[in-house]
Amino acid sequence: MVMGASGSKLEKALGDQFPEGERYFGLENFGNTCYCNSVLQALYFCIPFREQLLEYYANNKNPGDAEENLLTCLADLFMQISQAKKKTGVIAPKRFVQRVKKQNELFRSYMHQDAHEFLNFLLNELVDILEKESSAAKDSPQSSPEKAPNGPVQHLANGVKKEPPVTLVHKNFQGILTNETRCLRCETVTARDETFLDLSVDIEQNSSITSCLKNFCSTETLNAEDKFFCDKCCSLQEAQKRMKIKKAPHILVIHLKRFKYIEQLGRYKKLSYRVVFPMELKLSNTSDDVDTEYSLFAVVVHVGSGPNHGHYVSLVKSHNHWLFFDDENVEMVEEQTLQTFFGSSHEYSGNTDHGYILFYEGLGGKS
């Protein structure tokens, strides 16, 4: 059987180093679905997520269940790739793309779509499906909560209110940010926790991911029109506000805000700034002051000079090799190739291929 040109080339390039049991498949593009393909490749090579999704699917797949959703379509696609007889080739993610368009009209048009919006939509949709399934399982007759005069109560051993279930999306991608505000009059600190599945960071010319994260966690002063209402002083006061990463996620996803709204132009502009992303990243802005170490394993790249047109590709690390996925095409690349996607030091450069979403895996093993 004759392989696709890029497939056979890839097999030749890897030779006997082709990882046992691994599959490298390109994904067919249905007109404008590169935003979807690039994100799917990054998620497929997020190994703990892939394994947990396939395991969940194997354990919960009910042949009598006709209901198809985004979770089953994604798991089906991952299953198709992982169980393919050939090591390389092309798969058409048709059912998955149809489901995405059915679920969200934003992705129905043939216009250029945003890969970060798609990633956000997909992860949140998976969370909704998993949480609904989990609560449906709990509400089955065997496990109904005891009745009390004022409605059902759910007890936990220590009397704490029941938390929503921790899904495989949360296990891998969820971190916690603490938003701290210190009143400059009475020094009272108000802290509010919020969860995140990815961090969207502002970028500057000739900077690095480390400096972008430092800015993300830097202290800002609230004064003049932006004063903070302090509950202790019962009035608006000057205050200092900062973000801290309270709990670092196992998979840290960083979205570089390359599309900026320019008031004078009345439209978005793409920032081609050079932002260096390291192979190994230390996250030191955490509340517990424990440095969390991460290793880069995927980059979604936006190719093009503006926000409303262009193309997405992804680079993925698998078994110590870097691979370049461009829809149907897959090829091996050297690690130093990633440096060509940092961005441009000056605005009018011919290079329009820029790192847009970065995926880092925690080195502490599976949490």
Q: How far apart are CA 30 and CA 40, in angstroms?
A: 14
> Which strands sit side by side in the sheet containing 189-196, from one edge to the other?
189-196, 175-183, 239-247, 220-222
Please say whether the beta carbons of 290 and 282 come within 8 A. Answer: no
- 25: exposed, middle or buried (C-beta count within 10 Å: 0-12, 13-18, 19+)? buried
Catalytic residue selected from 34, 183, 212, 230: 34
Facing residues of 145 across strands? none
Question: Could you give the CA distance from residue 367 to residue 364 in angstroms, rounded to a whole number?
Answer: 7
Q: Would you state the structure tokens that stand for residue 348, as one six-digit string?
A: 């009018």
Q: From 334, 358, 345, 207, select the one nearest 276 (Cα to Cα).
A: 207
CB 286 within 8 A of CB 242: no
* CB distance 317 to 45 below 8 Å: yes
CA–CA dist 245, 178 (Å, integer): 6
Question: Amino acid identity, residue 338?
Answer: L
**For residues 161 and 156, what is the distance between their CA atoms, to the nearest angstrom?**
7
Contacts 24+ apart (CB under 8 A), 60-68: 60/133, 68/95, 68/99
The SS3 assignment for 195 reads strand
Q: Which of 250, 255, 311, 321 is catalytic?
A: 311
330 vs 27: CA distance, rounded Å? 9
Active site residue 311: yes
Kindly report the number of other CB atoms within 10 A of residue 253's CB atom.
26
Is 170 among the residues known to form the active site? no
Tell me how many helices (H) and strands (E) the chain has: 8, 20
Q: Closest by alpha carbon to 41, among 357, 364, 362, 363?
A: 357
Which are the catalytic amino acids? Answer: 34, 311
